Amino acid sequence: MLTSTLWLVLLATSSPAASPAAYVEIPGGAFRSTIRYEGNDGDRVVADFALMQQAVSDREFQAFVLQHPQWRRDRVPALFADSGYLSHWQADDAPDPLDAERPATHVSWFAADAYCKAQQARLPDWAEWEYVAAADPQRRDARTDPVWRNRLFADGTSRAVDAAGNAPANAYGIRGLHGASWEWVGDFSTLLGDSDKRGADDGDRLQFCGATGLSFNNRDDYAVLKRVALLSAMQPRSTLGNLGFRCARSRP
At 93-145, the pLDDT tens digits run 999 998 899 999 999 999 999 999 999 999 999 999 999 999 999 999 999 89
Mean pLDDT calculated for residue range 169-177:
96
Nearest to 234 by CA among 180, 181, 178, 187: 187
Higher pLDDT residue, 145 or 10? Answer: 145
**How confident is residue 157, by pLDDT bands cut at 50, 70 and 90?**
confident
Window from 74-88, 90-104, 181-195 with minimum mean pLDDT? 181-195
Amino acid at 221: D
Which pLDDT score is estimated for 20? 63
Decide: residue 8, CB within 10 A, 0-12 exposed, 13-18 middle, 19+ buried: exposed
Give the C-alpha separation, 121 to 14, whole Å. Answer: 16
Which pLDDT score is estimated for 110? 98
Q: Is the dihedral of CA 219, 223, 226, 232 positive or negative?
A: negative
Residues 6+ apart with CB under 8 A from 205: 113, 123, 186, 187, 189
The 10s digit of each residue's pLDDT in 30-53 is: 998 888 776 666 788 999 999 999
Q: How far apart, in Å, are the Cα atoms of 8 and each of 105, 118, 141, 142, 246?
A: 24, 16, 25, 27, 15
